Amino acid sequence: DADVTQTPRNRITKTGKRIMLECSQTKGHDRMYWYRQDPGLGLRLIYYSFDVKDINKGEISDGYSVSRQAQAKFSLSLESAIPNQTALYFCATSDLDRDGYGYTFGSGTRLTVV
Amino acid sequence: AQTVTQSQPEMSVQEAETVTLSCTYDTSENNYYLFWYKQPPSRQMILVIRQEAYKQQNATENRFSVNFQKAAKSFSLKISDSQLGDTAMYFCAFSVRSNNDMRFGAGTRLTVKP
């Protein structure tokens, strides 16, 4: 099994629908992140969490919300999806004690809003 | 604000030759980390190489090496003996030790030609 698992892998949804992207990890890492990737813009941080009770907004949090249900689970919700939220979404984790070692990424969720 | 700039949206190289991908960043921090990630068509984010800012010695991982110029805030990636499997999108990334908020460049799409 992958260290960081994202579901679903691909999703097409309609404008105005609520959708949840899920992320779970077996790394035992405290820190979890949600990024979105757009062509020509790289990856941009949506939300991050340093532990279950700590949730922080990233640079592009508008239109998104998150829930850290447990150390291992961090979900991203789009309350009312719009077409410009069409993107590739990544969940990532990192270890506080090894913060120079980069992130472990999930395999991404490609979301299309029509 | 911390920013990462990759000025080459696309590059190509012949198999077995050497190619260098450019990256510059801007920060007022002194303790930070720099990374290169590879994203093949499978879209998985794979860590290629990492560099700690306090280390003057350039990092090397097999055919991959970096040229880290701290004063110039430059962090280029050199790929030697390019292989077809190196075809991918490459992202330069920067992380400040104090908050581990990783910032990414827009990416360089590298194509290795047979």
> Residue B13 — very low, low, confident or very high, per pLDDT cuts 50/70/90?
very high
> What are the chain A neighbours of B95 within 8 Å (beta carbons)?
99-100, 102
Q: Is B7 part of the contact surface with chain A (CB cutoff 8 Å)? A: no
Mean pLDDT (chain A, rounded): 93
Q: Is the pLDDT confidence value at A2 over 80?
A: no
Distance CA A111, CA B2 (A): 28
Distance CA B56, CA B24 (A): 17
Q: Is the pLDDT confidence value at A27 over 80?
A: yes
* Three-state SS at A101: helix
Q: Is the pLDDT confidence value at A95 over 90?
A: no
> What are the chain B neighbours of A31 within 8 Å (beta carbons)?
100
Distance CA A83, CA A11 (A): 13
Look at residues B71, B75, B41 and name the one whose alpha carbon lies nearest to residue B58: B75
Q: Is the pLDDT confidence value at A1 over 70?
A: no
Contact A100 B50 (CB under 8 A): yes
Q: Which residues contact A97 (CB under 8 A, 6 or more apart)?
A: none
Look at residues A70, A78, A63 and name the one whose alpha carbon lies nearest to residue A49: A70
- pLDDT at B2 (0 to 100): 79
Counting one residue from chain A and one from chain B, the pairs whose CB atoms sit within 8 A come to: 59
CA–CA min distance A100, chain B (Å): 6
pLDDT in tens, A32-80: 999 999 998 999 999 999 989 999 999 999 999 999 999 999 999 999 9
